[in-house]
Structures are given as structure tokens and as C-alpha cells.
Structure 1
Amino acid sequence: MKKLVLTGAAGRLGSYLREPLSKMCDTFVSTDITDGPKTLFENETYVKADLADLDAMVDLLNGADMVVHFGAVGDEAPFETLLGPNFVGAYNIWEAAYRNKLRRVVYASSIHAVGMHKKTDFIGIDAPHRPDTFYGLAKCFAEDLASMYWDKRGLESVCMRILSCAQVSNPRAVGTWLSYDDLIQLVQRSIDTPITGFSVVYGVSNNDRAPVDNSKAQHLGYRPKDNAEQFASEIYAQNEPLDPHDPANTHHGGPFSSIPLGESGVAHLNLNPDDTAKND
């Protein structure tokens, strides 16, 4: 590709993607609302920009082949907090991509778009939306936006419903883990697959206890290699037996399924402090 754009580049997941994505294009543009990283890769340019500013997004995507859209507030919050970056920002990315004649949007969606489904249902990529939060609702909005822009305007999209892309630190993650290496592979396959149309795929590693079915996304060529079963015995021994009546344990959204709307779900995930952005 001549030009590839990554939004949310200063975030935890975006920071892991900068180097591998920079190797897939001649010109790599990373962007976020905060100040940029201290050092840039040889073909990288950083642009500080607000997703809620349509004109800024149109300028940002000028001349690009594809955009990898990871920019957003990455947690549940009041609707008013999410409206600009997560809802309006998604519209601005797809509209700017359409105006600039991009081929594809690769989008960091989330399991929270279907978070109120039960884990025992082993849902596929065609499961109907059942958001668990305003955050999940924003993911549903963006997925429907992606579907509509494909149907009406011919703009391809891959919506990656990421489960738990962090170190395995709780019982839920034994099934939902997405390793950083598998994340990179997932994004790369979403970019280099020749034809995607509108596609949905779950971002999860090759876990023995994965609670979702990716069989209808085989055309993307995503074949995860890591398996969280290696952590199962230790994680289960460190935690008390789970309450089978708590939605946080029985539904795909985990704690996002049980928290009040507008309150942080990330605060209940027990993330490892080592899961930080790589922006030095």
C-alpha cells in the first residue's frame, strides 16, 4: 500500500500495532488526540487530531488506501462522554474514508456489541447485537454504519470484535484472551485479504475455552496461534469459585454485563500493570 492510517495510535492496542503496520505501506500515518510518541518509525508521520472533527478526518485520510480505526474512549462512560469520540467519531471515519475513496476500514469493534448473550450459547459472527453498555452500543452503531457503507457506497470494512487483549489475569480471560501476537495477525489479515466486503470476526486467540465461533470468518485467513489454557490451572487456583448467577460470569460482556450504565467496566477487569502502551 502507498498510505495506511492508524487512529488511536497512542492507546494500549494502537501502540502495539504501529511497528508492524508501518512495514505494510510506503507512508504510515498514526494519529490520536494526545501528543505523539517520542520516536517515530522511518516512514511514520504523527498527526494530532480529534475524531469528532470531520474536516480533520477528511484531511487525515487524504491519499490513504485504508484506515485502521482504533481511536475511541476504551471503556464504559456516560453517553455524553462517548458521543463525540465513539459515535460521531465512527461516522466521521467512514464518511472521510468514502470521500477520499479508500478501499477499506479495519475497525476495532468489541465483544461488548454482543455482551448480553450468554457464554454457553457459543455465538457466531451472525449473532444479533445485544450491547451490554453505552460503549457496546457505540460498537453496534459502528458495525451497522460499516454494513450500510458497504451496501450503499461500496466501502469495505472488517469489524474485529475484540474480546480480552491483555495478559491473562482473571478466569474469564482463559476463554477470551487475545494475545498481542494474534492481535497483530488479525489486523494484518484484515488488511491484506483481497476481498472482504463487510466482514465481522472475533478477536480471540486459539483458546480451548473460547466462547465464540469464527467458522464463518474463515475467508479472512485469521488463524490464531496462542492458547490461554497454559494459564488455566494457576488462574483458577488463585480465584474463588465463580457465582453462576452473576451476569459478569455468565455473559460475554463479563463485568460490563453487570455494571450500571455509564460506570467503568475496565475497573473490574483486574488488568495487569504490564499491559501499558508502547509509546517510548
Structure 2
Amino acid sequence: MKKLVLTGAAGRLGSYLRGPLSKLCDELVSSDIADGVPNLAPNESYVKADLADLEAMTELLEGADMVVHFGAIADEAPMDVLWGPNFYGAYTVWEAAHRNNLRRVVYASSIHAVGMHKKTDFIGIDAPHRPDTFYGLAKCFAEDLASLYWDKRGLEAVCLRILSCAQVTNSRAVGTWLSYDDLIHMVEQAVKTPVTGFSIVYGVSDNDRAPVDNSKARHLGFRPKDNAEQFADEIFAKDGPLDPLDPANIHHGGPFAAVDLGSSGMAHLNLNADDTAKE
């Protein structure tokens, strides 16, 4: 592959992806709204660009084969805050990809697109949208945009519905954990699979208690290896009995299903310092 573009390269997950993606292409262009990123690979360059600027996105994607789109505000926020980067920013990426004849968009979607489904429902990739927040609604919008651009313009897309890509610090994450190694594997497969059309896959490790079904996404070759069960006894003992009537314990979206619209969900996830250091 000649050229890959990574948006959200200064964020936590984007930081983990830069090195592996640089090995899949002749040229990696990393982008974000930060002034720069450290430790560029020999074949990597950095471009500061705003997702809400269509012309900037069109210029950024010129000559690219694919874009790995991880740029966005990664939390619930008021609609006017999310509108530019998360909603309109999704449109600019797909439209710029179309204008530049890219083959595929690999998109960081989220479980929050279906976050109001109950955890006891073993939902598959064909579960209907049921967002838990404005943030989740933006993921629904982008997934539908991806489907539209595939159907009408032949632009492939792989939407990665990431669950909990952070250290296991709470009972929910025993089922929803996506290790960083499995994240990298999933993105690599989304890039390397020869034909994807419009695809959805859940970003979750091989957990004994994984609450979602990836059986209809096997064509992507995503075979996670890590398992959060190793943390179960310690985490369950620490958390103690959970309230079975708390929306955060009932729904796939966890705390995002319980917060008021516009209020942070990340604030209730109790992330470790190691998981926020790269934000």
C-alpha cells in the first residue's frame, strides 16, 4: 500500500496505532489538531488539520489508498460541541475520501451506537442502532454515512464498534475489554482484508464474558487472543455486588447509558493513568 492516513493520531488509541500502521504502507500521514506528535516513524509525516474543514480533509487524503479515521471527541458532550468533529467531521472524511477515490475508510465506531440494548441480549453486528448519548448518536450517523457511501459510491468501510479499550478496572470491563494488542490486530485486519464492502465488527477481546457476537464479521479475519477473565476475581471482589436496577449495569453502554445527555460518560469509567497518558 502506498499511502495511509490516520486521523486522531495524537489521541490515546491513535498513538498506539501509528507504529503498526507505518509498517503497512510506504507513507503514513498522521493528523490531528495538536501541533505535532512525538517520535515519527521514518516513513511518517504529520499534518495538523481540522476535521470540520472539508477542504483540509480533501487535501489531507490526496493520493491515499485508505484512511483510518480515529479523530473525534471521545466522550459525551453537548451537541454543539460534538457537531463539528464528530458529526460534520465524519461527513468531511467520507466526502474527501470519495473525492480522492480512496478504496476504504476504517472508522473508530463504538458500542455506544447500540448502548441502550441490554447487556443480557447477546447482540450481533446487525443489532439496530440504539444510541445511549449524543456521542453514540454520532457513531450511528457515521455508520449510516458509511453504508450510504458504499451503496451509492462504492467506497468501502469497516466500522469498528470498540467496547472498552483500556485496562480492566471495573466489572463491566471483564466482558468488554479490548486489549491494545487486539486493537492493533483488528485495525490491521480492517486494512488488509481484500474485500470488505460495508462491514461492522465489535472491538472486543476473546473474553469469556464478551456480551456481543462477531460471528457475522468473520470475513475480516479478526481473531482476538487476550481474555479479561484473568482479572475477574480481583475486580468482582473490589466492586462488590452491583445494583441490578442501575442503567449503567443493565445496558451495553455502561455509564454512558446512565448519564444525562451532554454529560461526560468517561468521568465514570475510572481509567488508570496509563490509559489517559496518551490523550
Quickly name the TM-score band, shorter chain normalised: over 0.9
Give the distance between the partners of 2:82 and 2:16, measured in 1 at CA. Answer: 24
Give the distance between the partners of 2:171 and 2:253, measured in 1 at CA. Answer: 13
Give the match's secondary structure for 1:159. strand
Assess if the C-alpha contact under 8 Å between 1:8 and 1:72 holds in 2: yes
What corresponds to 2:210 in structure 1? 210
What corresponds to 1:8 in structure 2? 8
Instruction: Tell me by how many angstroms 1:276 deviates.
Output: 3.2
Instruction: Tell me by how many angstroms 1:278 deviates.
Output: 4.7
What corresponds to 1:164 in structure 2? 164
Instruction: Tell me by how many angstroms 1:39 deviates.
Output: 2.3
Assess if the C-alpha contact under 8 Å between 1:106 and 1:157 holds in 2: yes
**Partner amino acid, structure 1, of 2:131:** P
Give the distance between the partners of 2:182 and 2:38, measured in 1 at CA. Answer: 26
Instruction: Tell me by how many angstroms 1:124 deviates.
Output: 0.2
Give the distance between the partners of 2:276 and 2:192, measured in 1 at CA. Answer: 27
Q: Deviations over 1:102-133 (max 9, x none)?
A: 00000000000000000101000000000000
**Partner amino acid, structure 2, of 1:67:** V
1:278–1:264 CA distance, 2 compared to 1 (3 A) = closer
2:181 matches 1:173: no
Q: Report the TM-score, using the length of structure 1 for normalisation.
A: 0.99
Give the distance between the partners of 2:272 and 2:211, measured in 1 at CA. Answer: 22
Q: Mind listing any 5+ residue stretches in structure 2 that lack a counterpart?
A: none
**Partner amino acid, structure 2, of 1:7:** T
What corresponds to 2:100 in structure 1? 100
Assess if the C-alpha contact under 8 Å between 1:16 and 1:277 holds in 2: no
Instruction: Tell me by how many angstroms 1:35 deviates.
Output: 1.4
Give the distance between the partners of 2:119 and 2:71, measured in 1 at CA. Answer: 27
Q: Deviations over 1:1-49 (max 9, x none)?
A: 0000000000000000000000000000000011111321100000000
Which structure 2 residues correspond to residues 71-86 of structure 1 after superposition, within 5 A? 71-86=71-86
**Partner amino acid, structure 2, of 1:216:** K
Give the distance between the partners of 1:109 and 1:73, measured in 2 at CA. Answer: 12
Q: Report the TM-score, using the length of structure 2 for normalisation.
A: 0.99
Assess if the C-alpha contact under 8 Å between 1:52 and 1:89 holds in 2: yes
**Partner amino acid, structure 2, of 1:37:** V
Which structure 2 residues correspond to residues 1-280 of structure 1 after superposition, within 5 A? 1-278=1-278
Give the match's secondary structure for 1:46. strand
1:3–1:181 CA distance, 2 compared to 1 (3 A) = same
Give the distance between the partners of 1:133 and 1:58, measured in 2 at CA. Answer: 29
Assess if the C-alpha contact under 8 Å between 1:107 and 1:157 holds in 2: yes
1:192–1:271 CA distance, 2 compared to 1 (3 A) = same
Give the distance between the partners of 2:99 and 2:274, measured in 1 at CA. Answer: 40
Give the distance between the partners of 2:278 and 2:80, measured in 1 at CA. Answer: 29
Superposed CA RMSD in Å reads 0.8
Give the match's secondary structure for 2:273. coil
1:92–1:277 CA distance, 2 compared to 1 (3 A) = farther
Question: More deviation in 37-46 or 134-143?
Answer: 37-46
Give the distance between the partners of 1:38 and 1:167, measured in 2 at CA. Answer: 23
Give the distance between the partners of 2:89 and 2:239, measured in 1 at CA. Answer: 39
Assess if the C-alpha contact under 8 Å between 1:10 and 1:277 holds in 2: no
Q: Mind listing any 5+ residue stretches in structure 1 that lack a counterpart?
A: none
Assess if the C-alpha contact under 8 Å between 1:33 and 1:48 holds in 2: yes
